[in-house]
């Protein structure tokens, strides 16, 4: 048996007036997904437990069958694992975004959060900026590391503590004054935020970006701290070998901590310009090389939701269907084995609010062995069947046929 998990990050949404009150899933032309939905087991699942923040680490842990309440301790340590960073028990990892804040206000605290991704800055540009930040603030016990695009990492030995930082993608368009860290612990971080503006705002990289009409990455924003993660081995748990394909360090990190093989795809960016075709081809290669399960994570719908790019969100769903699902499905049909396909978002990222919600998400589960009643097309509304699972970590119990 072969298993494909196609995780369309943030794909679920709300009706949008400019789409004739359709959601992007309803508006998208996704023939393969919709055809498979007609004979799939469908429903809704809650991947973010009540009371937990609707972040991708929480939701993807649940989809991968790990209870977020037990194993979700911040996304940053998982990203650090993906980056190949060694963490000691007394180390704390922090996500370090390079962001764009407004420049007109004299006081840093009065500035506006304009973009959590600094126009999805390139990794090469970020690398120069993060090195400048590390030179300014790094010490023997505190070091900044370059990740991918705007997503980077701070490792701090014997850090002040686990502060509940605001998430930068939640405060786009807002004054940052009410969201800066504060109190006894937070006060030890806020100086990094303020002083980073002096380091970055007129850095040559940002001056060049302005000339090209791009937003400057003129501040850092720390968030989602955590300590070294431990996950049960996926193969030992389910008796099958698994690979993960993603452009996002967080998802790679979860896979690596679970003992999965992580596959990098050239040109995979985490946005609508990612190498969709390459991800499809890499998935097929993993199956050919013996993987029983391939977990394909596609970040593009989520980023489009954060950036309020309605047309791009619709297009990203169409590209997933055309360049990933369709060729992989055709391969699986002819591979000589039975197979199952699970398609779902981890959480909604509605364009209207430009951030994640904790709402249940639609899923479809196709099996080559058994045709289900199904739904006319894979949409949020159609998937509101009689089946609702309030603990996402148990969805794999319906998906994987254990052979141990």
Q: Compute the average pLDDT of residues 220-236.
A: 91
Is residue 265 scored above 60 in pLDDT? yes
Burial class (CB within 10 angstroms; exposed 0-12, middle 13-18, buried 19+) of 221: buried
- Which two three-digit tokens encode residue 145? 């590391």
pLDDT-based confidence at residue 378 (cuts at 50, 70, 90) = very high
> Could you identify the residue written with the tokens 């499905």?
329
Number of helical H runs and strand E runs in the chain: 15, 13
The pLDDT value given to residue 268: 87
Is residue 403 scored above 70 in pLDDT? no
**Residue 298's Cα: distance from chain center in Å?**
8
Alpha carbons 143 and 130: distance in angstroms, whole number: 10
Domain ranges of the chain: 2-72+230-399, 91-226
Q: Distance between the two ends of the chain, CA-based, in angstroms? A: 13
- Residues 80, 73: contact at Cβ < 8 Å? no
- Which two three-digit tokens encode residue 141? 């016990």
The DSSP secondary structure of 21-82, one letter per residue, reads TB-HHHHS--HHHHHHHTTSEEEEE--S-TTS---HHHHHHHHTT--HHHH-S-HHHHHHHH
Is residue 402 scored above 70 in pLDDT? no
Is residue 386 scored above 90 in pLDDT? yes
Within 13 A of 226's CA, how many CA atoms are on the CB side? 19
Residue-wise pLDDT tens digits, 326-377: 999 999 999 999 999 999 999 999 999 999 999 999 999 999 999 999 999 9
> Could you identify the residue written with the tokens 């969201």?
179
Is residue 145 scored above 60 in pLDDT? yes
Residue 115's alpha-carbon distances to 213, 303, 312, 329, in angstroms, are 14, 11, 17, 37
Pairing of strands 261-263, 151-157: unpaired
Q: Which fold has domain 2-72+230-399?
A: Alkaline Phosphatase, subunit A (3.40.720)
Count CB neighbours of 104 within 10 A: 7
- Which two three-digit tokens encode residue 321? 């269907």
Q: Compute the average pLDDT of residues 113-127.
A: 96
Residue-wise pLDDT tens digits, 63-92: 999 999 999 877 788 889 889 898 898 999
Q: What angle do CA 402, 403, 404 make, to 5 degrees?
A: 100
- Which two three-digit tokens encode residue 176? 């940052």
Cα dihedral 219, 220, 221, 222 in deg (nearest 10): -160
Alpha carbons 19 and 342: distance in angstroms, whole number: 27
Alpha carbons 283 and 265: distance in angstroms, whole number: 10
Count CB neighbours of 62 within 10 A: 28
Q: Compute the average pLDDT of residues 308-322.
A: 98
């Amino acid at each position: 048996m072969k298993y494909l998990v196609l995780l369309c990050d943030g794909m679920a949404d709300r009706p949008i007036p400019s789409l004739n009150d359709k959601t992007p899933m309803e508006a998208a032309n996704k023939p393969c997904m919709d055809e498979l939905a007609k004979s799939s087991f469908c429903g809704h699942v809650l991947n973010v437990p009540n009371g937990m923040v609707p972040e991708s680490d929480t939701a993807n842990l649940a989809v991968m069958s790990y209870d977020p309440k037990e194993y979700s301790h911040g996304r940053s340590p998982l990203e650090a694992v993906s980056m190949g960073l060694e963490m000691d028990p007394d180390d704390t990892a922090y996500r370090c975004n390079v962001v764009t804040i407004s420049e007109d206000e004299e006081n840093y605290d009065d500035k506006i959060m304009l973009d959590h991704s600094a126009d999805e800055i390139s990794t090469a540009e970020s690398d120069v900026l993060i090195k400048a930040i590390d030179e300014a603030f790094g010490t023997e016990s505190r070091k900044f590391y370059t990740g991918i695009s705007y997503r980077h990492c701070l490792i701090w030995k014997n850090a002040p503590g686990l502060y509940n930082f605001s998430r930068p993608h939640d405060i786009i368009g807002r004054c940052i004054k009410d969201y800066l860290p504060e109190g006894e612990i937070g006060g030890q971080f806020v100086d990094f935020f303020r002083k980073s503006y002096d380091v970055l705002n007129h850095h040559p990289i940002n001056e060049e970006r302005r000339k090209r009409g791009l937003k400057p990455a003129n501040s850092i924003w720390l968030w989602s701290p955590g300590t070294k993660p431990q996950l049960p081995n996926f193969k030992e748990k389910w008796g099958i070998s698994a690979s993960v394909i993603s452009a996002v360090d967080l998802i790679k990190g979860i896979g690596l901590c679970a003992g999965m093989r992580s596959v990098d795809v050239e040109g995979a960016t985490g946005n609508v310009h990612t190498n969709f075709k390459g991800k499809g081809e890499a998935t097929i290669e993993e199956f050919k090389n013996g993987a029983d399960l391939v977990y394909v994570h596609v970040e593009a719908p989520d980023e489009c939701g954060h950036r309020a790019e309605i047309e791009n969100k619709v297009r990203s769903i169409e590209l997933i269907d055309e360049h990933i699902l369709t060729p992989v499905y055709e391969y699986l049909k002819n591979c000589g084995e039975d197979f199952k396909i699970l398609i779902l978002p981890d959480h909604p990222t509605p364009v209207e609010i430009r951030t994640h919600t904790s709402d249940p998400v639609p899923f479809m589960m196709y099996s080559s062995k058994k045709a289900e009643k199904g739904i006319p097309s894979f949409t949020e509304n159609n998937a509101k069947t009689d089946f609702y699972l309030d603990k996402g970590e148990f969805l794999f119990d319906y998906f994987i046929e254990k052979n141990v």
